[in-house]
Amino acid sequence: MNSFVRHFMMTVWTMICISSSIVFMVIFFNRQIPLVIARTIWSPALLWLAGAKLEVTGRENIDKNHPRPLVVVSNHISLLDIPCICRAIPVNLFWTAKSQIKRMPFFGAYMMATGMIFIDRSNKHKAIISINKAIQLIKNGKNVFIFPEGRRSVDGETGNFKKGAFHLAVKSGADVIPVAIMGTDKVWAKKKFRLHPGKIKVAIGTPIPTANYDETSIPELTNTVREHVIALFNDQVTTPQTF
């Protein structure tokens, strides 16, 4: 398949899954259903259509019966990072996103309907309201995913982490799960149309408790988690699971 056909089929498949998710969510009054569909149906097919072979290590580090909610964070190098996270992480995740995504046709409406969290960084008051909403969501037992860099890396290197994700984790009492994504930028590079089928790796680290951190030590937690993400790039001893 050439890149045009792959992109076309990926777009159609995404629209089918979004439409089905909303229908099932309305029928059963359950916002978890779209998350299950994203993990088990949308993401594996999308990665296959993109020509990506996914290898995951550390999946055993996430216990579905973990006693505390989780804030999952990773580096960000490609649009394919999102389906990779959906496929690799074995629990449902709510996502945070920039408020501009609300205006995206179809996809923005889907994210609003499923209870995803939008943060308006241009308006401090609205940003605080969004963050408080996210804290309450996590306290209620929901797991949240965030790209702490805020945007995709230009050169593939892990940039500085913003502190927002770690404020959420500390204030809600959640544990942080560091994740490293490798190879998505080779399959689908930033600002490029062409897809290059290949191998993608996702390495999941062990939970980092936040009980011993407070507002004053959030910069320390931020740096610690970033160091864990970078270390995961160099730790490929565990035999990966292939999806």
Block means of pLDDT (10 residues each) for the chain, length 243 residues? 94 94 90 92 97 95 89 95 96 85 78 80 75 87 91 86 92 95 95 94 95 93 95 73 72
DSSP 8-class letter at 156: S
The pLDDT of residue 151 is 85
List Cβ<8 Å contacts ≥24 apart for 119-125. Answer: 119/164
Q: How far apart are CA 222 and CA 237, in angstroms?
A: 25
- Are the beta carbons of 75 and 181 closer than 8 angstroms? yes
- Among 151, 146, 214, 156, smallest CA distance to 178 is for 146
What does DSSP say about strands 144-146 and 70-74: parallel, antiparallel, or unpaired? Answer: parallel
Residues 6+ apart with CB under 8 A from 53: 198, 199, 200, 242
For the chain, list the domains and their CATH numbers: 53-242 (3.40.1130.10)
DSSP 8-class letter at 241: E
The pLDDT of residue 238 is 59
The pLDDT of residue 239 is 63
Q: How far apart are CA 148 and CA 171, in angstroms?
A: 16
The pLDDT of residue 237 is 54
How would you list the strands of the sheet with 70-74, edge to edge?
A: 117-119, 94-98, 144-146, 70-74, 175-182, 198-204, 52-57, 241-242
**pTM above threshold 0.85:** yes
